[in-house]
Amino acid sequence: MPKFRYVAMDSKGREVEGVLDAENEARAVAAVKDKGLFPTSIVDLRGGRGTPKGPGAAGNKAAASKGKGGLQAEIKLPSFLGTMFQGRIKTKLLMVFTRQLATLVEAGLPLLRGLHVLQRQEKNPQLHAAIIGMAESVESGSTFAEALAQYPKVFSMFYVNMVKAGEASGALNTVLTRLAEFMEKSQKIRNKVRGAMVYPIVVMVMALVILGVLMVFVIPKFKEIFTDLLQGKELPPLTRMVIGFSDLVAHNGLYLLGGIIAFVFVFRFLGKTERGRRILDVVKLKAPIFGQMVRKTAIANFTRTLGTLMTGGVPILQALNIVRDVTNNAVLATAIAQVHDSVKEGETIVSPLEASGVFPAMVVSMIQVGEETGALPEMLMKVAENYDDEVDTAVEAMTSVIEPIMIIFLAVVVGTIVIAMFMPLVAIIGSL
């Protein structure tokens, strides 16, 4: 029986290679899929007669035609290209691709032809290569969802499952439109939150730069002047404190910088551990100024994602698993896991949400009404729309509060330095 060497991707995007026995290439492809893998290259070891599947296939047809001499390149090149082209793609590009594909499918074009149309006009090399690979997978008999799953770093599990539900229900164009709308709204919220963070970050960075210049270059000059003019007289306490801090920064600046970098690394490391991430997420939710914005953003993302999945036909248990995996808040993820267990046991989703402490009473009540009336997806989308407005309000409130706080902070820092430096000058002038 012929032997086939295959290169495939598993569900987590890792590359898998192996050899199997099969009657022909089609049986080999089916055998690889039965293993839960997504084939990207199938090669007949009797003479390199196989046809590459997936990303990089088009670039290897010449190698396949060379027989044994091109066999090694044919095996290795698809895996290289598959890895290279699975980089992160901006949400805006993916959103435009989804919207255009939905329009083409809704206009009556077959999916494969629509992919070829988008392939010709796509300028981004990563997405272009992904579209080529998906088109070849669909052409070889894979479903669109299976083709998307070959690119886990480009298309999230949420995206793949939505498409899978759309294909099963025969409403792929509707699901693609919903996906595009979902990405547009999610991107809008992210942009607002990032925009609100720009001002305080810029002000803080500028304040640190100015403070560093004063401490390293300006204050030491004043220290020399005071030493010459006061002739050993004691400086005021505030002046001594500022000069002492200046000496610390000037003589130990590298150590301080190293300490800040070490703190950032420790902070990031804690954020990757389960316990550390949970502690940090609890702090984010309870932070005095940012907490409300973080909470409302998390609620909007949760309700919109779950509502979109359920509206697209994804079963609630599967939808809850997907939402739990894609959420960025450990506290919310724990609550979603508890909701999943509750629904699995035949109970309601309300009690775990209420016990989490993340969701306000109004949100819990609206979800409860939606569950009781059988209109849970619609109610979730209403909550998401309401919290979009809440996020806007929270961003504006945070911006209006942060601006005076930052101004007061800068005034206190600069004012303290100025007063500390002028107090000895006043004493010197008085003595003259």
**pLDDT value of residue 53:** 46
Query: Per residue in 270-306, pLDDT tens?
Result: 777 878 888 888 888 888 777 888 888 888 888 888 8
For residues 138 and 209, membership in a common domain is answered with no
Top-confidence residue, 93 or 157: 93
Query: Per residue in 384-409, pLDDT tens?
Result: 888 888 887 877 777 788 878 888 88
Q: Is the confidence at residue 424, as pLDDT, over 70?
A: yes
Q: Is the confidence at residue 50, as pLDDT, over 60?
A: no
C-alpha span between 210 and 260 (Å, rounded): 17
Angle between helices 219-230 and 376-431 (to 10 degrees): 20
Look at residue 188 and tell me if it is in a domain. no
For residues 80 and 97, membership in a common domain is answered with no
What are the beta bridge partners of residue 5?
A: 19, 43
Contacts of 195 (CB under 8 A, 6+ apart): 395
Indicate the residue among 183, 210, 238 that finishes a domain: 183
**pLDDT value of residue 73:** 33
Average pLDDT, whole number, for the chain?
A: 79
Confidence class for position 345, pLDDT limits 50, 70, 90: confident
pTM: predicted TM-score of the whole model, two decimal places: 0.61
Confidence class for position 74, pLDDT limits 50, 70, 90: very low
Which CATH number belongs to the domain containing residue 165 in this structure?
1.20.81.30
C-alpha span between 202 and 196 (Å, rounded): 11
For residues 403 and 255, membership in a common domain is answered with yes
> Containing domain of residue 117, as a range?
91-183
**pLDDT value of residue 249:** 84
Nearest by Cα to 305 from 325, 287, 286: 325
For residues 45 and 105, membership in a common domain is answered with no
Top-confidence residue, 408 or 41: 408
Rounded to an integer, what is the distance from CA 9 to the centroid of its chain? Answer: 22
**pLDDT value of residue 64:** 37
**Which tokens in the block code for residue 387?**
């919290």
Look at residue 9 and tell me if it is in a domain. yes
The mean per-residue pLDDT over the stretch 354-372 comes to 85
Look at residue 210 and tell me if it is in a domain. yes
Indicate the residue among 183, 204, 237 that finishes a domain: 183
For residues 367 and 218, membership in a common domain is answered with yes
**pLDDT value of residue 355:** 81
The mean per-residue pLDDT over the stretch 217-225 comes to 86
3-state helix/strand/coil string of the chain? CCEEEEEEECCCCCEEEEEEECCCHHHHHHHHHHCCCEEEEEEECCCCCCCECCCCCHHHHHHHHCHHHHHHHHHHHHHHHHHHCCCCCCHHHHHHHHHHHHHHHHCCCCHHHHHHHHHHHCCCHHHHHHHHHHHHHHHCCCCHHHHHHCCCCCCCHHHHHHHHHHHHHCCHHHHHHHHHHHHHHHHHHHHHHHHHHHHHHHHHHHHHHHHHHHHHHHHHHHHHHHHHHHCCCCCCHHHHHHHHHHHHHHHCHHHHHHHHHHHHHHHHHHHHCHHHHHHHHHHHHHCCCCHHHHHHHHHHHHHHHHHHHHHCCCCHHHHHHHHHHHCCCHHHHHHHHHHHHHHHCCCCCHHHHHHHCCCCHHHHHHHHHHHHHCCHHHHHHHHHHHHHHHHHHHHHHHHHHHHHHHHHHHHHHHHHHHHHHHHHHHHHHHHC
**pLDDT value of residue 161:** 81
For residues 243 and 273, membership in a common domain is answered with yes
Look at residue 163 and tell me if it is in a domain. yes
Indicate the residue among 183, 210, 225 that finishes a domain: 183
What are the beta bridge partners of residue 9?
A: 15, 38
Between the two ends of the chain, the Cα-to-Cα distance in Å is 107
Look at residue 190 and tell me if it is in a domain. no
Q: Is the confidence at residue 40, as pLDDT, over 70?
A: no
Which amino acid is residue 70, in one-letter code? G
For residues 66 and 102, membership in a common domain is answered with no
C-alpha span between 337 and 335 (Å, rounded): 5
The mean per-residue pLDDT over the stretch 19-39 comes to 80
162, burial (CB in 10 Å: exposed 0-12, middle 13-18, buried 19+):
buried
For residues 306 and 356, membership in a common domain is answered with yes
The mean per-residue pLDDT over the stretch 343-351 comes to 83
- Judge contact between 84 and 150, C-beta under 8 A: no
For residues 383 and 261, membership in a common domain is answered with yes
For residues 137 and 115, membership in a common domain is answered with yes
Query: Per residue in 112-128, pLDDT tens?
Result: 888 988 988 888 888 88
For residues 78 and 96, membership in a common domain is answered with no
Residue 80's alpha-carbon distances to 15, 259, 389, 416, in angstroms, are 10, 39, 45, 59
- Judge contact between 322 and 328, C-beta under 8 A: no
Rounded to an integer, what is the distance from CA 53 to the centroid of its chain? Answer: 29
C-alpha span between 284 and 218 (Å, rounded): 38
For residues 244 and 292, membership in a common domain is answered with yes
**pLDDT value of residue 292:** 82
Which amino acid is residue 296, in one-letter code? K
Q: Is the confidence at residue 49, as pLDDT, over 50?
A: no
**Cβ neighbour number for residue 206 with a 10 Å cutoff:** 12
Q: Is the confidence at residue 82, as pLDDT, over 50?
A: no
Look at residue 189 and tell me if it is in a domain. no
Number of structural domains the chain divides into = 3
Contacts of 36 (CB under 8 A, 6+ apart): 10, 11
- Judge contact between 36 and 11, C-beta under 8 A: yes
C-alpha span between 57 and 257 (Å, rounded): 49
The phi, psi pair for 359, rounded to 5°, reads: -95, 130
Look at residue 135 and tell me if it is in a domain. yes
Q: Is the confidence at residue 177, as pLDDT, over 80?
A: yes
